[in-house]
């Protein structure tokens, strides 16, 4: 598919929108949540939403963070893989709940499971991270941002 607008052109044409999304991401980064965890949930949401730009972006970030390649490879099948911690599993379940939001919303049962592994504040910032990547995904898909060059681990 032909890009409709490049990511760079978007950031120049809509600096306020870019700044708003960047501010949300910065708030999550400053929340104390593990960067590897937030990058895993961003990659999973991007996979679900079919955003090639965001998939390539977060793959590069995970590799730079030296996240185990096995986790990255098995992310689409995270429920069946035994490489994720309980905290990561709950975060991925919450990611899928908020990304594939049903008309009923997020259940109390799903939120209670989240709170078994995250504080109220962490759950709030994890939800912000998921909401933000879903916004980026929708922009990336709508405007057809071209995927980034994938980098080898450690680069």
> Sign of the C-alpha dihedral, residues 32, 53, 17, 91?
negative
Other C-beta atoms lying within 10 Å of the C-beta of residue 20 = 13
Q: Between 15-29 and 35-49, two packed helices, what is the crossing angle to 10 degrees? A: 130
Distance (Å, whole) CA 50 – CA 2: 15
Q: Output the tens digit of pLDDT for each of the chain's 155 residues.
A: 788 899 999 999 999 999 999 999 999 999 999 999 999 999 999 999 999 999 999 999 999 999 999 999 999 999 999 999 999 999 999 999 999 988 888 999 999 999 999 999 999 999 999 999 999 999 999 999 988 876 666 55
Q: Please name each of the domains of the chain with its CATH number.
A: 37-143 (1.20.1290.10)
Give the predicted TM-score (pTM) of the model: 0.93
């Amino acid at each position: 598919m032909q890009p409709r607008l490049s990511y760079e052109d978007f950031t120049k044409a809509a600096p306020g929108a870019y700044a708003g999304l960047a501010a949300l991401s910065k708030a999550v980064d400053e929340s104390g949540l593990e960067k590897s965890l937030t990058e895993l949930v961003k990659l999973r949401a991007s996979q679900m939403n079919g955003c090639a730009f965001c998939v390539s972006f977060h793959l590069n970030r995970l590799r730079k963070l030296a996240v185990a390649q096995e986790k990255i490879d098995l992310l689409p099948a995270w429920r069946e893989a035994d490489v994720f911690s309980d905290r990561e599993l709950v975060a991925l379940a919450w990611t899928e709940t908020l990304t594939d939001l049903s008309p009923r919303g997020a259940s109390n049962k799903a939120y209670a499971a989240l709170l078994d592994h995250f504080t109220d504040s962490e759950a709030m910032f994890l939800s912000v991270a998921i909401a933000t990547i879903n916004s980026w995904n929708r922009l990336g898909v709508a405007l057809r941002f071209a995927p980034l060059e994938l980098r080898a681990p450690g680069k």
